[in-house]
Structure formats: structure tokens, C-alpha cells
A and B are shown apart, each in its own frame.
Chain A
Amino acid sequence: MNFRFSEKEEAFRQEVRDWLAHEVPPRWHEIDASLWEETDESWIISREFQRKLAKRGWLAPAYPTEYGGANMGHIKRLILAEELAYHFAPVGIETEMAVNWVGMALLHFGDEKQKRDLVPKIAQGETVFCIGYSEPNTGSDLASLQTSAVEKGDEYVINGQKIWCSFAHYADYCWLAARTDNQVPKHQGISIFIVDMKTPGITVRPLINILDRHSFNEVYFDDVHIPKENLVGIKNQGWYQVAMALDYERSNIQTAAGSRKLLDILIDFVKTTERNGKFLSEDPIIRNELAAMATEIEVARMICYRIAWMYSKGLHSNYESSMGMLFASESLRRLADLGLRILGPYGLLDQDSKWAVARGRIMRTCLTALSIGVGGGTNEIQRNIIAMRGLGLPRK
């Protein structure tokens, strides 16, 4: 065992930090738009930032260099992801979706043309995808999806409704899961398509999230004709392709790293804030709770490190990714809750208030955290995976 990063890895971490210190525009920190708080302005800043990241091969570091990646090893990617998240860099869920879900799946299952046309653009931060998985009646039971794609001549015709499509209003393409056979068990009749969002018959309607922002949408498909070659991989094998793509190394270190940053903000606050003639940092209850939180975040970090380490050894994770998401998301919720209690009534103030502390970030995290542990598989689904895949508990 060795819990130390190599000198080269540490140097890389420093390189990332130095680069971030120069390249994240100051305006980004002023608007402080974290996950689910995107605005048109923040969107433009983050697109621009991601193109800069891409120039260093850091937007899609795992991709082979011929596709615009850096062919970067797992541990360095872990470090990169950790630093980007800790420093609240303008890299949002859209990157995760385009780079890690779509691009990775294309590299595995796409044909040569799809790979050549799309993967480099994803790696350069030029192409935005929205994900068409969930439907109004299809959440955790994703395989029950009903949006249909019917073969007609050299086209597929798509009809149905998708929901929670983040950034569909900015997206160039939809990465769509649709039913191509309804005569077989539900997992065996799903296929994946790439749909140009400019195709006639597509309607995008905003859904305003709990932070009062427009980040996701409903997307309606009404007789949408797409060319046959936009099928990805093998017809009716979509479910397995999606599962494999989701399994592709995701250390999920972002949540733990972001939590550590929030903890550091709270530590600063209690060290500099006096109540009744004493610094909050001297209060035994506050000390105790912050220490508990720091410990949990460290545990979350180790659980996520394990995933990257396993892949670096050529092992595949099984239940470990689910455990990382589960533990880190629940920690974040507790942290946000604790943070609000520590800040007291100041914690309730939003960022445009002159009395706001840390730009209202803690209060907004209380809301954001509700989605961590739901999106990308609820914590209940993660627990099912841990129990059945990890511990071998029976389905029936």
C-alpha cells in the first residue's frame, strides 16, 4: 500500500492549480454559478473555458490523442478532476455527459464515421449533447422507456417525450435511447441514436429547477425523421451499451472535492467570526461537527480514489462507483446542512445580498445537494447495485 502520489503526479497537480489560477476568469467567481445555476452568461464563460481546457487535452483527457484527448492515465485524471472540482472551475455536468457518457460510448460502439465526426469535436468542447434517457413515466426503471424509433426506408422515425434533458436548449445533438422492439423483454428492445436537435419535429420546453434556473427541459419528438446511420452500435443492444458506458471509469471524485472546498470555506468562517466574545472555532460543538465532516469527506475521497486506482491496475469496478456516489452525495447533504447551522441566519442569504456569506454558496448547496443522489441513479438504485452486484444478494 502506498497513499502517496508520485513526484510526477504531484507536479501535475501543481501544474493544474497554477493553470487554473490564471485561466479561470474572475467574472466566473463573481457570478459563482455552480451546478444547476447556469445562466446564459455562465454558459458562455464555461464553453469558452472548456475550449481552453481542450487545447491542453484536459477536457477529454482519457481519449486517445488522435481524437483530441491526452491518452492520460487514470491517476492523473483523478488528480485533474479533483483539482477542477475543488477550485469550482467552469466545468459542468455538460462535460461529464458529452465526454464521459457520449464520447466514451462512441469510442466503444460507434462506427468509424461517427467517431471521426463527433469524438474530436467533443474533445475540443465544440459539440454539446443533451441526454434523452428519462421520460415522464421512466425514471429509475429506465428500461421501461416508451419513446419509439421505427425503421422506415433509410430512416428512423421517432415519437415520444423525454424529460430532465439538461441543456437541451443549447444542445447540438440529443443522445437518445428509444424503443426499437416492443415484442421482446424491455431490456432487449432499446437502441441508441444521435439526433440533430435542428431536425424538424423536435420541441424543447424549459423546466425551471429548484434553484429557479433553466438548466433542464422536456424534449418532444413528433415524427422526427433521422438517417439510419445515426444508430449507434447494434440495434436493440442499446441498454447494454448504456450500462457499459455508465460503468466506464468514473471516480466521482468531484462531489468529495467540492465538499472539501465548502468545508474549507466554513473553516475560514469559524476562524474569523466571533460570537459572544469568542471565535466560533473555539465552540466545542462546532469543532466536533466540522471534524466529523472533514473525516467523512476524507472517507468519501478514499472510496472514490479506489475506483481510479482499480482502473489503473486494469481492474473493473463493480459496485465501487455506486458506493462513491452514494457516500459522497450523502456527505454533501450533511455538509450543507451543517454549514447552514454554522452560518446561522446569514446562511439563508442569497448571493446578491450585501450581508451574504461566501456568496450564498452554502444555502444554494442545500438545494443543489437534493439532486446529488438522485440524478444519474438515485441512492436507492445505488444501494440496490451495491447489494446485488457487490454482495450477491438475490433479486427474488
Chain B
Amino acid sequence: MDLGLTEEQEMLKKAAHDFLSKECPKKLVRELDAGDQGYSPELWKKMANLGWMGLAYPEKYGGNGGSFLDLAILVDEMGYNIVPGPFFSTVVLSGLTILEAGNEEQKKEFLGKIAGGNLIMTLALTELDGTYTAASIKTAATVKDGKYMLNGTKLFVADANVADYILVVARTNAHVKPEKGLTIFLVDTRSPGIKTTVLKTLARDKLCEVVFENVIVPKANIVGQLDRGWPIIEITLKKAAVAKCAEMVGGAQASLDMAVSYSKERIQFGRPIGSFQAIQHYCANMVTDVDGSRFITYKAAWTVSENLPCDMEASMAKAFVSDAFKRVAGLAHQIFGAIGFTMDHDMHLYFRRAKSGELAYGDVDYHRNIIATQLGL
């Protein structure tokens, strides 16, 4: 048992921390949040040059051969600093799905381009009922002239507004159990019939409605096998949940650090508010949540890295961190008082992400249900 990072991982963490605090200041975060695109192509290129996009992909596909745990360390730092943009959609949701299920040609082409910073992708999964269930997927892919034709509406698709390709989960067989008739398609966003609308959200991330109307997709663009898409998506969802936890751990740590340094500086009644037990105990609760979140998340990330069954670990992480980040951000707001209730202050950037992260890739109840099943209930 070793609960520490390796020397290389410490270096990665520090390099990411230093780079992001310099290259992605909160001024940029605010601009990107407010803008239409939601990402900075310059920053994107720089991150690619650092090898971040391909960090967890094998070298033969243009990656750096790192592990999922390495990726979690990086995403943790991205959550600490806040890095708006399609990194998560491209690298985690899409790249890892292709790595899991794509054929050699797809892996070479798509992972190579992602690693080079030359391709933005996302995953179009959820539909009108907003759940992560196979039965909720109604978007249909029907065969037409030896190709597939997609029709349907996907909702809450992150970064579809800037994506070059979208992995679309569509129903290819309506006459079997819901999870047995789904297929994953690589869809070029330049294809005719795709209409993307950015939705206005709490976290001001770029979640989109994507409407597919008679969109033609070649058969070669199936990822994995026909009708066998759902088990792949389940794996992706687990990894996405753990990676989201890592991002939230970073955000929680940042919220704590901000609140603690403010508590040491802010003077009321002639003394720093951090000397009052009420504030001290808030901070003690926060660091306990942050440390607990980090361990349960890294245990899950390690389990994924080791290719061990990770249902229990991933769900425990997501169930815990979703609540914990919210508690931490809430207490940080309480410590900041009125100043935290302004757009000028940074705290709301984290609070918004705590709320959106909570619901991403399964909320607390969704994951507790999985845990219960794993416990034999």
C-alpha cells in the first residue's frame, strides 16, 4: 500500500499547477464562461504541446503511455484552477471510449489527432429524460443505401458547439431489451442535418441540444460492434464519473484554500475571523471532506488504472464527492459572506461547478443504488 504519488506524478501535478495558474487566470475563465465558444484555441494548443491530451493514451496512438491515475492527477489540477473547454469531452468521454472499443484504424486516426490537439470531440448520450439509462435513448439509426441515417435529439451534450466529431449513441434495434440495441457512431459535425444550440446553464459550461435530422453516417464509423454499444458506454460512464470526481476534488481543494487564506486575513472584532472557533470548525469540516474525497477518488482512479472491477469504487467516489464538494463550496461561501455573493469574486465559479459536477455521470442517488447492488442488496 502506498498512498503517495510517484516522483513523476508529483512533477506532473506541479507542472500542471504552475502552468494553469499562469496560462489560465480567472480573467480568462470568466471570458470563456461568458463567450460563445467556451474555450481558448491558444490554451488548447499549449496544453496539447505539453502532452496533456494524449497523457493516458498508448504511445503507439500518439499518446504518452500514462495511466488513468495520471489523467486523474491532471484533471484534479484542472479542477483546482478551472479550465473551461472541451478537454473532458474530448479526452475522457470520447478518447477513452475509442481507446476501449474502436478498431485500430479509428484509434490511430482519432487518438492521434486528439493527442496532437487537432481534434475536438464529444459524446452525445443523454436525451429528453436526462438520465443515464439505455431505455432513455430514442435517437434512431436506420439503414439506408448501405449507410446509417440518424434521427433524434440529444440533450446536455457538452461542447458540441465546438466539436469536430461527436460520438452518438443511437438505437439500431428497437425489438430487443433497451441495452441490447444501441450502437456508437462517429459523426462528423459537418454532416448535413445537424443542428446544435448552446443551452444556458448554471455552470455556464457549454451544454448543447443537438438535433439530428436524416444525418448520414458511413457503416465504417461504428465504434465497437453493432448493437453492442451500451456495455462500452457503461465503462465510459464509470471512467467519466471518476474523472469528474478528480476535477471536483481540485475544485474543493481550491475552495478550501481560498476560504482558509481569507480567514487569516479578514479582521472583524479586532482579530482574524480564522481565530474564531465557528470558522475554524467550518474549515476543519472542509478539509476533512477534501481529504476524504481525494482518497476515495484516487482509490477509484487506481482501480480503473489496474483494470480491476471498479463499480463499487467509482460509485463510492461519485456518491461521496458529489455531496462533499457541495458542502465545501457552501461553507466557503459562508466564510466569504457578502463578498462571495458577487460576480467579481471567484467563489461562485467553484460553487457553480460543484452543482453541475454533482449531477454529471450519475448523481448521488444513482450511484448509491449501484453501491447497494454491489453490497448484495
Q: A383-B284, A393-B279 are in contact. Are A3 and B375 (CB under 8 A)?
A: no
A184 CB within 8 Å of chain B: no
CB pair B377–A270 under 8 Å, yes or no, is yes
CB pair B1–A2 under 8 Å, yes or no, is yes
Which of A288-296, A347-355, A363-371 lies at the interface with chain B? A288-296
B203 CB within 8 Å of chain A: no
A-B interface contact total, Cβ < 8 Å:
153
- Chain A positions 3-17 with a Cβ under 8 Å from a chain B Cβ: 3-6, 9
A178 CB within 8 Å of chain B: no
Residues of chain B lying within 8 A (CB to CB) of residue A2? 1-2, 302
Docked complex Cα distance between A303 and B319 (Å) = 17
CB pair B369–A380 under 8 Å, yes or no, is no
Residues of chain A lying within 8 A (CB to CB) of residue B9? 1
With both beta carbons as reference points, the residue of chain B lying nearest to A2 in the complex is identified as B2
CB pair B260–A391 under 8 Å, yes or no, is yes
Q: A299-B295, A390-B287, A392-B264 are in contact. Are A305 and B1 (CB under 8 A)?
A: yes
With both beta carbons as reference points, the residue of chain B lying nearest to A5 in the complex is identified as B1
CB pair A396–B275 under 8 Å, yes or no, is yes
Residues of chain A lying within 8 A (CB to CB) of residue B5? 1
CB pair B372–A309 under 8 Å, yes or no, is no
Residue with the greatest number of chain A CB neighbours at <10 A, chosen from B280, B320, B369? B280
**A291 touches which one: B1, B284, B295, B372 (CB < 8 A)?**
B372
Give the shortest distance, in Å, between B16 (CB) and chain A (any CB): 17
CB pair A298–B316 under 8 Å, yes or no, is yes
Residues of chain A lying within 8 A (CB to CB) of residue B315? 291
**A393 touches which one: B69, B275, B376 (CB < 8 A)?**
B275
User: Using an 8 Å CB-CB cutoff, how does the interface string of B231-275 with A read, 1 for contact, 0 for none?
Assistant: 000000000000000000000000000001001100000011011
Residues of chain A lying within 8 A (CB to CB) of residue B60? none
Docked complex Cα distance between A2 and B377 (Å) = 29
Q: A295-B316, A299-B296 are in contact. Are A394 and B375 (CB under 8 A)?
A: no
CB pair A305–B284 under 8 Å, yes or no, is no
CB pair B284–A271 under 8 Å, yes or no, is no
CB pair A395–B2 under 8 Å, yes or no, is no
Q: A299-B320, A387-B280 are in contact. Are A288 and B372 (CB under 8 A)?
A: yes
Residues of chain B lying within 8 A (CB to CB) of residue A281? 372, 376-377
CB pair B283–A393 under 8 Å, yes or no, is yes
Residues of chain B lying within 8 A (CB to CB) of residue A382? 284
Residues of chain B lying within 8 A (CB to CB) of residue A391? 260, 283-284, 287
CB pair A1–B2 under 8 Å, yes or no, is yes
Give the shortest distance, in Å, between A80 (CB) and chain B (any CB): 14
Give the shortest distance, in Å, between B169 (CB) and chain A (any CB): 27
B343 CB within 8 Å of chain A: no
Residue with the greatest number of chain B CB neighbours at <10 A, chosen from A281, A302, A382? A302
Give the shortest distance, in Å, between B7 (CB) and chain A (any CB): 12
CB pair B371–A386 under 8 Å, yes or no, is no
A56 CB within 8 Å of chain B: no
Residues of chain B lying within 8 A (CB to CB) of residue A394? 264, 271-272, 274-275
Give the shortest distance, in Å, between B344 (CB) and chain A (any CB): 25
User: Using an 8 Å CB-CB cutoff, how does the interface string of B287-308 with A read, 1 for contact, 0 for none?
Assistant: 1100110011011001100100
B337 CB within 8 Å of chain A: no
CB pair B275–A395 under 8 Å, yes or no, is yes
- Chain A positions 274-311 with a Cβ under 8 Å from a chain B Cβ: 281-282, 284, 286-288, 290-292, 294-296, 298-300, 302-303, 305-306, 309
Give the shortest distance, in Å, between B277 (CB) and chain A (any CB): 7
Docked complex Cα distance between A392 and B4 (Å) = 22
CB pair B368–A287 under 8 Å, yes or no, is yes
Residues of chain B lying within 8 A (CB to CB) of residue A85? none
- Chain B positions 354-377 with a Cβ under 8 Å from a chain A Cβ: 364-365, 367-372, 375-377
User: Using an 8 Å CB-CB cutoff, how does the interface string of A357-390 with B read, 1 for contact, 0 for none?
Assistant: 0000000000000000000000010111011101
B46 CB within 8 Å of chain A: no
B338 CB within 8 Å of chain A: no
A53 CB within 8 Å of chain B: no
Residue with the greatest number of chain B CB neighbours at <10 A, chosen from A1, A282, A303? A1
Docked complex Cα distance between A271 and B263 (Å) = 48
A175 CB within 8 Å of chain B: no
B176 CB within 8 Å of chain A: no
B281 CB within 8 Å of chain A: yes
A332 CB within 8 Å of chain B: no
Docked complex Cα distance between A303 and B295 (Å) = 7
With both beta carbons as reference points, the residue of chain A lying nearest to B5 in the complex is identified as A1
CB pair A290–B377 under 8 Å, yes or no, is yes
**A3 touches which one: B1, B275, B285, B292 (CB < 8 A)?**
B1
Given A384-B280, A387-B280, 13 other A-B contacts at CB below 8 A? Answer: A1-B298, A3-B303, A284-B369, A287-B377, A291-B368, A298-B296, A299-B320, A303-B292, A323-B288, A327-B288, A384-B281, A391-B284, A393-B280
